[in-house]
Amino acid sequence: MRKIHNRSGKKNELLAGISRRDFIKYSGAAGGALLLGIHGGLAMSSQKSRVTFSNTENRKAGVASSLKALNLNPVKNKDVLIKPNFNTADRTPGSTHNDTLVALVQEVWQMGAKSVSLGERSYPPTRDVMEQKGVLRLMKELDVKIIDFDDLDARDWVKVKPKDSHWQDGFRVARPVLEAECLISTCCLKTHQYGGIFTMSLKLHVGVVPTHRHGYPYMSELHQSPHQRKLIAEINAPFTPDLVVLDGIDVFVDGGPMDGKRAKGHVFLASTDRVAIDAVGLAVLKSLGSNNQIMKPGIFEQEQIARAAEIGLGASSPSEIEVIPADEKSRQYRDQVVEVLNRG
C-alpha cells in the first residue's frame, strides 16, 4: 500500500506497521478515521510547501521547467500512476490538454520511471472520453497502460469511512490510487459553476470516487450536499500524490468545469502539496479577474482549502508557501501572484 506522509516527509506514526490487509479492513470500518487523520489531520511541519511557477505559453516547456525548478525525482524506479482531468473530453481547460499529458509522460520516463499508467473515471463512460480525445492511441505510442476505473471490480472500490467526515456513510476510492507506488496528478485551472467554485488539484480527485454506475450514487450526494466543498477536500484524505502539475495556460475565470469564460493564464505550477498549489492557482485567478465567488472570499477562507488544511493535507496559510520562479522570465509574474496570495 502507499505510505501516507505528513508535510515534512515523515511517515505518519498512525500508519506505521499497518499492512495492506489491515488498511483495507480499517478503511471499511469506523476505524478509518484513524487512518485518514480526520481528527485534526496529520502532523504538520514548519517547512514551507514549495510551488514552482513557470510563465510560459508552451506546454512542453511548462512541464519541463516547472518540474526542473521543483528539483526532486519521486518517480525513479517506481511504478507511476498519472491521474489526469478527463471528467469530459471538452477543450482545455475543460480537460487535460494532450500536449501536457504527452510532455508529462515523456518527462516521467526520462526521470527513470519503471512503468507508467494512466488512471481515470470520467463523467461519460471513461473509454469514450479517452477515445474522443485521442488519448488511447497516444498512450499506446508512449508505452503507457490505461487503467479505466469504470472496469474495476466492486472489490477494487475500497470503502473509506472516516468518523468525522461530512459524507453520510463514507465513500469509496479506486484501489489503484490507494496502492500506487508513485501517484502524479495533473490538473487544469478553472472555476466551477456547480458548487465546487474552483477545480484544481483537490477537485481533480473527485474522479477517484465512483459514479452511480458503480452502485451508490456518490456523485449525487456530493452535488446535493450543502457541504460539497468540504466533501471534496475529504476525498483527498486517504492518499497523497507524490507530485501535482497544474496547466494554467488556458483558464476559465467564470463558468466551468466543461466550458466557461476564457482567459490566458500563461502559467504552469508544480508541487507536492495539493493545498498550496490550489492556493497559488486561486491567486492566479484573482490576478486575472474572476467571478465573485473567487474574488470576494480570502483564499484560505474557501471551503475546499480550509477543510483540506484543517485535516492536515497541506499548507494552512500563505506564510507556509514558497512560490519559486522557474526562471527569470517568470519572476515578475510570480511576484504579482505572490502579492495576491499574501493579501488572501
Residue 344: per-residue pLDDT: 86
Let me know how long the chain is.
344
Alpha carbon distance 184, 325 (integer Å): 21
E strand segments, the chain? 49-55, 79-83, 115-120, 145-148, 157-160, 171-174, 182-192, 197-199, 243-255, 260-264, 267-271, 321-325
Residue 325: per-residue pLDDT: 98
Residue 162: per-residue pLDDT: 81
* Cell numbers standing for residue 116: 507508467
Residue 214: per-residue pLDDT: 66
Rounded alpha-carbon distances, angstroms, from residue 326 to 238, 265, 288, 321, 331: 31, 16, 20, 15, 8
Over residues 6-20, mean pLDDT: 36
End-to-end CA distance of the chain: 37
Q: Which CATH number fits domain 47-343: 3.40.50.11440, 3.90.1150.200, 3.40.50.300, 3.40.190.290?
A: 3.40.50.11440
Rounded alpha-carbon distances, angstroms, from residue 81 to 145, 153, 186, 249, 275: 9, 18, 11, 24, 20
Residue 180: per-residue pLDDT: 98
Alpha carbon distance 61, 103 (integer Å): 8
Per-residue pLDDT band for 34 (boundaries 50, 70, 90) equals very low
Cβ contact 144:117 at 8 Å: yes
Question: pLDDT for 196-242, tens place per residue?
Answer: 999 999 999 999 999 876 678 999 999 999 999 999 999 999 999 99
Among 269, 282, 247, 242, which residue's Cα sits nearest to residue 324? 269
Residue 243: per-residue pLDDT: 98
Cβ contact 108:72 at 8 Å: no
Answer whether residue 14 shows pLDDT above 50: no
Alpha carbon distance 193, 89 (integer Å): 18
93 cis-preceded (ω within 30 degrees of 0): yes
Among 309, 45, 245, which residue's Cα sits nearest to residue 299? 309
Question: pLDDT for 149-180, tens place per residue?
Answer: 999 999 999 999 988 899 999 999 999 999 99
Question: pLDDT for 109-135, tens place per residue?
Answer: 999 999 999 999 999 999 999 999 999
Alpha carbon distance 87, 205 (integer Å): 10
Over residues 302-330, mean pLDDT: 98
257 cis-preceded (ω within 30 degrees of 0): yes
* Cell numbers standing for residue 200: 484544481
Residue type present at position 304: Q
Q: Which residue reads 501535482 in cell numbers? A: 244
Residue 18: per-residue pLDDT: 34
* Cell numbers standing for residue 4: 501516507
pTM listed for this prediction: 0.88
Answer whether residue 22 shows pLDDT above 90: no
Residue 213: per-residue pLDDT: 66
Domain locations in the chain? 47-343
Residue 282: per-residue pLDDT: 98
